[in-house]
Amino acid sequence: QLYDIGVIGLGVMGKNLALNIADNQYRVAAFDLDELKVKETVRQEELERKQYLKHLTQARILGCNNLSELLSSLEKPRILLLSVPAGAPVDGVCESLIEAGIESDDIVIDTGNSLWTDTVDRELSYNQDFHFFSCAVSGGEVGARFGPSLMPSGSLTAWNRIEPIWQAIAAKVDTKTGLPIERFEPGNPVTEGEPCTTYIGPAGSGHYVKMVHNGIEYADMQLICEAYHLLSQGLGLSASEVGDVFERWNKGSLNSYLMEISADVLKQADPLTAAPLVEMILDKAGQKGTGLWTAVSSLQIGCPAPTIAEAVYARAVSTQKTQRQQLSKLLAGPSPSLSNELDKQAFIDQLEHALYCAKVSCYAQGFQLMAMQAKEMGWQLDFAEIAKIWRAGCIIRATFLQSITQAYQQDSELENLLMADVFAKQLSAKQDDWRIAVSQAVMSGVPVPCISSALAYYDSYRSSVLPANLLQGQRDYFGAHTFERTDKPAGEKYHLNWSSDRKLNKL
Ligand code: 6PG
């Protein structure tokens, strides 16, 4: 009997996707260049089947020794899922598949964190050989195993064929509450609820949307870290006390997976020293590039996403540990502890509001960026659907994505989330607390680049007048770059002869 789908690349994500697919009654043929990984995947399936699915005697995953064996084990036209590192390895596998005899109506799905422009190019270059399809995956290893959020894009022919598998393996949301249905049991996948997958659009759009998801993820993580910094350095709370605060926040409008895991991290003791583990973790952040790509894309297209960019910079500053150590002795600043007169509980509540506002501001930036890129590329992105598939499975899953979904359902053309009634009202009501949190941070010298840049974004967008008039004057002064006038039709250009007679010329 032939197999339904081939999985190539059996690292953590590939192995778990294979097991997830098998749990959903599809037969999987699996291959990795590292034969130990093939053995490990087959063994894991066997272990889980024996423990949880005693009635099944036949293996649901076939381990293959090479790509030819994999291809000949699959039902035609074939479906192949790639889970290999982004970049050259994706092309390497595609070329090897061509050599191994892949056919033109077979589908190859790239599930890595590929750069979206590479995906656009790949669809064009492999078009003759097979359907190159892409599906960005979010949710880390647990998501891949028990239900990720899936962002597929590319040919609709390919999508129609894989959609049933995708709906089965995706995370599910309770249709009534909009909350994730979480069940992490091998052999017992969640089959009820709304699947967190939707066809995003033409080639590249799914990876673009996932890239922005990651940009938001970077900012969301950094916002939580800044709150931790303020509570620990500013208020003097212990790691586990901050964990308690986060647990409480997680019960309200800040409810999210990232808030939940941050509380857990803060409350974990170090197995070696018994100190809070977080205090033993070196403060140098890593990154694989997706946040950077988001910031670069926002700069290229001219869409402000300062909080996402600041989150990337914050990781960069963190890696400069030696310089920070030197400068901590050289540069003066206030003591990080907040004033003794401060009402601690009141400040914690203000910070909760500040964090919520900053979070909304950062999602507004991400959604606006997707909208601008979509316009440029001619993609018809459905933002209500995108917010919906981020409600479960993915790293930025959060209760408030339900409000974003509703905002776009009410107005699919919404230019900026800050214009949605619900968010305009909430932010207007909480903005005083946001300002207090930022000013306390500034006065105590605790850096809060994301919370404060999110506020600057909010203030910039609520300013009908910005000082760009002076900026245009400066540009005209030294470079004759011209300016428009407030009292003349748009598009009419003027230049003042700054260095001679100071006469105004209409160009
Ligand atoms: C996800 C994550 C996942 C991963 C990224 C970010 O949605 O499942 O975003 O894709 O965590 O690679 O990693 P870095 O923080 O290392 O850039």
What CATH number is given to the structural domain containing 383?
1.10.1040.10
Task: Name residues whose C-beta falls within 8 Å of residue 357's C-beta, 6 or more positions apart in sequence.
Answer: 426, 427, 430, 431, 433, 434, 454, 455, 458
Q: Which residues are catalytic?
A: 210, 217
ipTM of the complex: 0.97
Work out the mean pLDDT of the chain and round it to a whole number: 97
pLDDT interval class at 257 (50, 70, 90): very high
Q: Residues 193-251: pLDDT tens digits?
A: 999 999 999 999 999 999 999 999 999 999 999 999 999 999 999 999 999 999 999 99
Domain count, the chain: 3
Same domain flag for 156 and 69: yes
User: Ligand 1 test: best mutation among 293, 395, 396, most atoms within 8 Å of CB?
Assistant: 395
pLDDT digits (tens, 9 = 90+) for 449-491: 999 999 999 999 999 999 999 999 999 999 999 999 999 999 9
Beta strands in 116-265 (DSSP E): 131-138, 149-153, 172-173, 194-195
CATH number, position 183: 3.40.50.720
**What pLDDT was estimated at residue 338?**
83
Look at residue 382 in the predicted model and tell me its pLDDT.
98
Q: Determine the residue type at 32.
A: D
**Candidate of 16, 84, 113, 296 to mutate for ligand 1, largest count of ligand atoms within 8 Å of Cβ:** 113
> Ligand 1, closest atom to CA 285?
15
Is the domain of 433 the same as that of 383? yes
Residue 373 pLDDT > 90: yes
Q: Which H or E run contains 30?
A: strand 28-31
Residues 146 and 223 in one domain: no
Which of these three, 203, 229, 252, is where a domain ends? 203
d(CA 306, CA 30): 42
Q: Could you read off the pLDDT of 407-433 as tens digits, one per residue?
A: 999 999 999 999 999 999 999 999 999
Ligand 1 neighbour 393 (Cβ under 6 A): no
pLDDT at 232: 97
Predicted pLDDT of residue 249: 98
pLDDT tens column, 302-314: 999 999 999 999 9
Q: What is the pLDDT of residues 74-122, one digit of tens each?
A: 999 999 999 999 999 999 999 999 999 999 999 999 999 999 999 999 9
Q: Distance between CA atoms of 232 and 246, rounded to whole angstroms?
A: 12
Q: Which domain holds residue 473?
A: 468-506
Q: Based on the domain organization, do 211 and 189 belong to the same domain?
A: no
Instruction: Give the pLDDT score at 183.
Output: 92
Q: What would the mean pLDDT of 147-171 be, rounded to a whole number? A: 97
Are 211 and 197 part of one and the same domain? Answer: no
Query: How far apart, in whole angstroms, are the C-alpha atoms of residue 258 and residue 218?
Result: 11
Give pLDDT, residue 348. Answer: 97
CATH at 487: 1.20.5.320
% pLDDT > 90, the chain: 98
Q: How far apart are CA 268 and CA 452, in angstroms?
A: 29
DSSP lists the bridge partners of residue 28 as 5, 61
CA of residue 136 to ligand 1 center, whole Å? 11
The percent of residues above 70 in pLDDT, for the chain, comes to 100
Instruction: Find residue 31's DSSP bridge partners.
Output: 8
Q: Is the pLDDT of residue 339 over 90?
A: no
pLDDT band of 336, cuts 50, 70, 90: confident
State residue 340's pLDDT score: 79
Instruction: Judge if 172 and 214 occupy the same domain.
Output: no
Q: Are residues 199 and 211 in the same domain?
A: no
Same domain, 90 and 164: yes
Confidence band (pLDDT; 50, 70, 90) for 501? very high
Same domain, 74 and 122: yes
What is this structure's pTM? 0.96
| Phi/psi-derived region of residue 61, left when phi > 0, alpha when psi is between -120 and 50, beta in every other case | beta
State whether the beta carbon of 261 lies less than 6 angstroms from ligand 1: no
User: Is residue 273 domain-shared with residue 402, that is, in the same domain?
Assistant: yes
Residue 421 and residue 378 share a domain: yes
**Of the candidates 159, 183, 203, which is a domain's last residue?**
203
pLDDT at 429: 98
Contact in structure between 411 and 268 (CB atoms under 8 Å) = no
CA-proximal residue: ligand 1, atom 10 (nearest): 138
pLDDT band at 342 (very low <50, low <70, confident <90, very high): confident
The last residue of a domain, from among 443, 461, 479: 461
For residue 202, give both structure tokens: 């033409």
How far is the centre of ligand 1, averaged over its atoms, from the C-alpha of 481 (Å)?
Answer: 42
- Cite the annotated binding site for substrate by residue number: 113, 138-140, 213-214, 218, 288, 315, 475, 481
Are residues 295 and 432 both part of a single domain?
yes
